[in-house]
Structure 1
């Protein structure tokens, strides 16, 4: 049986930066038997990142839409698993206000990190929390899930303006704030093919390029992605081939593309400071 202590040791062995920013996409069932269950898992993640910022997605895209347009920051449940749903309810955790792609964050600067997400009309705008992950040089922990669940890649697609990813028109969605105020948040949505179902294709490329490393958390396999390096590699690949994720065919051993120019902080120059319009 896995314990709080053993989970912490596994996180340390992966080289996760305790003082940095960690986004966790998760499958609780994949972890196996844990003494204390899901709450122990969240305790371990929170304790390990107590000097940094811990972020879990609390998305509601599966049911917040034109027919059900009101997202309640306090009440609307996450549609992507038990760990995000339990995490968002914990003391000190702050949830962002985007109606379909909110996240919950715990840490000293959680409020500034989550602030303003309702100002953007797409799920992963450069000025949203997903763009802030790049600015903060975050790590993305795929805990028992694969790249098909890595929402950050949708952000990269937005930032390099890959066509056909977003609806042209807006849905009339609303955010109900913790204080009960109702805010209009006209929103474009992901559309077209199931692009994310093809994200697995670049797993080997990211690993060979140093953007992805591996570890374990409980029984679950973990892929740990660098936001900066993932952006560097995939933005180059998508610019060269905007149809990269349009099919489910393997890449047949394609090499990592030539690196994009970097700023002093390591963020690709083409994307550093680039904010989409809200």
Structure 2
């Protein structure tokens, strides 16, 4: 059975920068049996990143979210797993105001960082928290998760205004602000006639491993990947400028 100390030792081998910015996509099931369960996994990553900025996606885009068209960051359940749901309840964790694609942050700069999502009307806009990972020279950790969960690619597609990605019809969402006041926004969600294009994002993995943009690591039982945001972005921007429809299908990248 894995422990907090063994998880930290595994993370030491990944090349994750302790004082940097790290966003974690996760599958607790893939991690395996840990003494203390998911809370111990969080204890390990929080301690490892105590001098940096740690982020988890705490998305709430599923059909079971936003009942009555209301988003309250203090109470809205995340639809992306147990670790994000536990993380956003930790002392010092601050969740952003994005109604469908929020992040929760911890660290000395957490409060300032999540403010990027205070004025957002699409899933991953240029001014939002996901796009901001480029400026942070951030790393992504796919902890037992596949690159199909790579939300950051949505921000690249939005930045380049890739067609057939955003629903032209908005929905009204009421945001419950920190002071209890309510602000209503028009939110334009994801939509594509090709279906869920994020299912094709994992075609990036093998080329990124070959180029050193990503590297494989083992954390407990979880086969994991550490991805450098800046070189990934620069490479994917070039690919999409050449072929805006790159992620419309699962055909490998040549």
TM-score, structure 1 as length reference:
0.88
Q: Which residue is equivalent to 2:131?
A: 131
Structure-2 change in CA distance of 1:206 and 1:68 (3 Å): farther
In structure 2, what is the Cα distance between the partners aligned to 1:42 and 1:83? 7
Tell me the distance in 2 between the aligned counterparts of 1:158 and 1:212: 22
CA contact (8 A) 2:124 2:131 kept: yes
Alpha carbons 2:98, 2:117 under 8 Å: kept: yes
**2:219 counterpart residue number:** 217
How far the C-alpha of 1:179 sits from its partner, in A, is 2.6
- Tell me the CA shift for residue 67 of structure 1: 6.7
Structure 1 residue 174: Cα displacement: 1.6
Distance 1:185 1:135 in 2: 27
2:36 matched residue in structure 1: 36
Whether contact under 8 Å (1:24, 1:142) holds in the other structure is yes
Name which of structure 1's ranges 163-172 and 26-35 shifts more when overlaid on structure 2: 163-172
Instruction: Return the offset for 1:122.
Output: 0.9
1:139-177 Cα deviation digits (max 9, x unpaired):
000111111001001111111111111012321112112
> How far apart are residue 32 of structure 1 and its match?
0.4
Match of 1:261 in 2: none
Residue in structure 1 matching 2:200, options 198, 201, 212: 198
Please state how far the C-alpha of 1:64 moved relative to its aligned partner.
7.0
Question: Which whole-Å CA distance do the structure 2 matches of 1:117 and 1:89 have between them?
Answer: 19
Instruction: Verify the 8 A CA contact 2:60 2:66 in the aligned structure 1.
Output: no
Question: Conserved in 2, the CA contact under 8 Å of 1:99 and 1:185?
Answer: no
Q: How does 1:85-100 map to 2 (within 5 A)?
A: 85-100=85-100
1:239 aligns with 2:241: yes
Q: How does 1:50-61 map to 2 (within 5 A)?
A: 50-61=50-61
Give ranges in structure 2 of 5+ residues lacking alignment.
none
**In 2, Cα distance between the equivalents of 1:116 and 1:236?**
26
Cross-structure match for 2:167: 167
DSSP-derived class of the 1:90 partner: coil
Q: Which residue of 2 aligns with 1:18?
A: 18
Distance 1:173 1:33 in 2: 39
- What is the alpha-carbon distance in structure 2 between the residues aligned to residue 5 and residue 105 of structure 1? 23
Structure-1 separation of matches of 2:65 and 2:35: 38
Match of 2:117 in 1: 117
Secondary structure of 2:250's counterpart equals coil
Q: Which runs of no fewer than 5 residues in structure 1 stay unpaired?
A: 255-278
> Could you tell me how far 1:202 is from its partner in structure 2?
1.7
SS at match of 1:68: helix
* Matched residue, 1:181: 181
Contact 2:66 2:76 in 1 (8 A): no
d(CA) in 1 for partners of 2:12, 2:142: 16
- Report how many aligned residue pairs link the two structures: 252
